[in-house]
């Protein structure tokens, strides 16, 4: 009877695993179709900048970086250019290049996620189902910056890989000496790359890792005993009992990662900052905590948290969009429940393990040496299994506290510093909700609770994903730009000027045929050197006719500005105006008191 039940359970588990892989394949197929058929619907100049940058690298015969580019907020070492640049050597269709890049990135992200989850030894079915959520475009933020825009998938990949290496090093997961050395080298190298890329990666991984390692020690039973039994006569021995086992491993490898990242950041500031043009973080200050500033930061943070999970502002309460907004609150409430419940489940499991260990220690003390040896030989395999279970449990607790720590740390930075608050910055934090889900379904024994959470997740994610996919297909945010992009290309314009959000996007829509330099203040023709090639702003770069691309609103507002008044309107439609100039020199001759060189 027991054998038959076991076989039925294994058979059911196989069916579940097949279903999980099938669902994952279906989501990947959906993403392929979205990319191929509608992939450029929501791209903007920020996303297009990565393609312009990669083409510049290909033209210069480089792969990682170039001194001839104005970077934005981060110097990204390992990013989309690793895939796009080689593709630009063999392909000319920008849409095809973007599609291929996204497809490869999906697979890399899945591989990184499975690599990170492997040390937890969680059932494959659960892990695969959670990987489906990683790929679901269930909010506009995720569609824009993850699945379609691909501005944050590489952040996720690097963090998952580094965290997976950290768990392997701290847990000594059956690795040989050579394998551990290789993992350690890669971990240090990847941590250094994170530091080279700027503060954002360090706030997402290395800093919360170190804080979590400290929290893990402070919450240990050994530290509690040290507080009660501390003796100044022999402090080192007592301290050694606290700093041992996985506690020491977590602390050592988190500090190793932070040190490597710190070295990378020093190189970022001292070396790369002098060689390349990108925004530094030295201007970030603590805010004023009065005159309503803190309240405004709190409002912005809460608003961005809600937007991350699909909140749609200024839409009807009793509508589909209103329901989606309510589900954003539901997602946040669910994460709070998941965090609290996992904390209790893991605490209960840890207490059981400690009780069994203490009981085993007392039994070993009462028995004879020979009996203890015989029992040790008989129980060798179970003892190894127990040790492995303890390690997995320790990893699970560490991930829980890491998620809480990362959330608190990043929220503190958003609230009390002048750093930018945007929803996408939370992606690398809430990424660790997926391991928490796996942990929950591993340790939760209440079938009704498991069922209710499963039903909520399936229903909410299906509805929000369906809404986002429909909106993505139905709403082409670049529909008004396509006619003017086609006009510029057909009329032989190859270089011009526009505000930032109408710049790089035009270059991508024309497969690189039309290049556009950014204008910050149209009335003064202040150039905005941001996410674009330096050559655009250099005197003598372009010969022949040129243009200024304006929105209809900009054209009306700045109609009396001399340089705008001097231009010949050759296109008006879809909310855009194209002003023609015979040359770049003619254009700049109309700008009072300024030349292109300035």
Structure tokens at 540: 């003598």
Task: Tell me: pLDDT of 496 over 80.
Answer: yes
Q: Is the pLDDT confidence value at 379 over 70? A: no
Residue with the larger pLDDT of the pair 206 and 199: 206
Burial-class residue 273 by CB neighbours within 10 Å (0-12, 13-18, 19+): middle
Strands in 405-514 per DSSP E: 495-499
Mean pLDDT of 445-453: 95
Mean pLDDT of all residues in 5-16: 78
CA distances from 406 to 87, 152, 347, 432 (A): 36, 17, 20, 9
Q: Please tell me the distance from the alpha carbon of residue 67 to that of residue 71, in angstroms, as a whole number.
A: 9
User: How is residue 260 written in tokens?
Assistant: 């490597």
138: Cβ contacts below 8 Å, ≥ 6 apart: 309, 310, 461, 464, 465, 468
Q: Give kind and range of the element (H or E) at residue 100.
A: helix 94-117
Could you give the CA distance from residue 219 to residue 236 in angstroms, rounded to a whole number?
A: 19
The pLDDT of residue 375 is: 47
Q: pTM here?
A: 0.93
What local confidence, expressed as pLDDT, does residue 309 receive?
96
Sequence-separated contacts (24+) of 585-591 with Cβ below 8 Å: 587/497, 587/546, 587/548, 587/563, 588/525, 588/563, 590/562, 590/563, 590/566, 591/524, 591/525, 591/562, 591/563
Would you kindly state where each structural domain of the chain is located, as residue ranges? 1-151, 175-283, 293-444, 481-589
CA separation for the pair 34, 27 (Å, rounded): 10
Q: Contact, 220 vs 393, CB < 8 A?
A: no
Stretch 540-556: mean pLDDT: 96
> Nearest CA to 148 among 138, 160, 158, 157?
138
* Cβ(127)–Cβ(114) below 8 Å: yes
Q: Check whether 376 has a pLDDT greater than 80.
A: no
Q: What is the mean pLDDT of residues 511-534?
A: 95
Q: How many residues does the chain have?
A: 598
**How far is C-alpha 46 from the geometric centre of its chain's CA atoms?**
16
Instruction: Report helix, strand or coil for 571.
Output: strand
Work out the percent of the chain whose per-residue pLDDT is above 90.
76
Give dist(CA 31, CA 44) in Å, integer.
19
Q: What is the H or E stretch that residue 569 is in?
A: strand 568-573
Per-residue pLDDT tens digits for 251-296: 999 999 999 999 999 999 999 988 898 877 666 789 988 888 999 9
Strand partners for 15: none
Please give the C-alpha separations between residue 389 and each of 170, 217, 350, 353, in angstroms, as whole numbers. Answer: 15, 19, 10, 9
């Amino acid at each position: 009877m027991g054998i038959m039940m076991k076989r039925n359970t294994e058979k059911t588990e196989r069916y579940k695993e097949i279903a999980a892989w099938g669902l994952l394949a279906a989501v990947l197929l959906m993403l392929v179709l979205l990319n191929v058929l509608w992939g450029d619907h929501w791209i903007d100049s920020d996303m297009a900048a990565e393609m312009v940058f990669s083409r510049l690298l290909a033209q210069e015969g480089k792969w990682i970086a170039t001194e001839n580019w104005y970077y934005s907020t981060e110097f990204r070492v390992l990013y989309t250019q690793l895939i796009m640049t080689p593709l630009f050597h063999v392909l000319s269709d920008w849409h095809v290049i973007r599609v291929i890049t996204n497809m490869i990135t999906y697979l890399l992200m899945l591989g990184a996620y499975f690599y990170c989850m492997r040390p937890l030894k969680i059932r494959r079915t659960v892990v695969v189902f959670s990987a489906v959520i990683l790929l679901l475009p269930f909010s506009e933020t995720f569609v824009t910056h993850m699945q379609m825009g691909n501005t944050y998938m590489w952040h996720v990949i690097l963090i998952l890989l580094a965290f997976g290496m950290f768990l392997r090093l701290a847990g000594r997961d059956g690795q040989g000496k050579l394998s551990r050395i290789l993992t350690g080298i890669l971990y240090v190298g990847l941590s250094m790359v994170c530091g080279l890329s700027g503060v954002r990666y360090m706030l997402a991984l290395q800093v919360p890792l170190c804080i979590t390692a400290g929290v893990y020690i402070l919450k240990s039973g050994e530290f509690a005993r040290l507080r009660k039994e501390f003796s100044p006569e022999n402090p080192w021995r007592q301290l050694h009992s606290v700093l041992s086992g996985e506690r020491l491993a977590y602390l050592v490898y988190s500090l190793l990662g932070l040190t490597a990242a710190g070295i990378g950041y020093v190189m970022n500031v001292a070396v790369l900052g002098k060689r390349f043009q990108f925004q530094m973080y030295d201007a970030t200050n603590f805010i004023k905590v009065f005159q309503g500033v803190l309240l405004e930061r709190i409002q912005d943070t809460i608003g961005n948290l809600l937007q991350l999970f699909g909140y749609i502002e200024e839409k009807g309460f009793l509508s589909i969009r209103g329901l989606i907004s309510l589900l954003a609150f539901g997602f946040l409430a669910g994460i709070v429940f998941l965090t609290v419940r996992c904390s209790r489940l893991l605490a209960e499991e840890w207490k059981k393990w400690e009780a069994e260990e203490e009981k085993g220690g007392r039994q070993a003390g009462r028995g004879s040496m020979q009996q203890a040896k015989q029992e040790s030989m008989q129980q060798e395999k179970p003892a190894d299994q127990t040790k492995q279970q303890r390690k997995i449990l320790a990893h699970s607790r560490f991930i829980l506290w890491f998620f809480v720590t990362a959330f608190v740390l990043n929220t503190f930075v958003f609230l009390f510093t002048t750093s930018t608050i945007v929803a996408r910055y939370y992606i690398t934090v809430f990424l660790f909700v997926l391991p928490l889900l796996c942990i929950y379904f591993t340790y939760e024994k209440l079938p009704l609770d498991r069922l209710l959470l499963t039903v909520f997740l399936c229903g909410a994610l299906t509805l929000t994903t369906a809404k986002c996919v429909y909106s993505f297909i139905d709403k082409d945010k670049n529909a008004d730009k396509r006619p003017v992009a086609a006009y510029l290309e057909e009329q032989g314009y190859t270089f011009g000027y526009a505000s930032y959000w109408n710049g790089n996007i035009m270059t991508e829509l024309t497969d690189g045929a039309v290049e556009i330099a950014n204008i910050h203040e149209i009335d003064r023709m202040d150039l905005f050197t941001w996410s674009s090639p330096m050559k655009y702003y250099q005197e003598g770069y372009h010969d022949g006719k040129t243009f200024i691309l304006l929105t209809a609103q900009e054209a009306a507002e700045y109609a009396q500005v001399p340089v705008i008044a001097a231009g010949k309107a050759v296109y008006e439609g879809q909310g855009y105006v194209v002003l023609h100039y015979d040359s770049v020199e003619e254009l700049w001759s109309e700008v009072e008191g300024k030349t292109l060189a300035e």
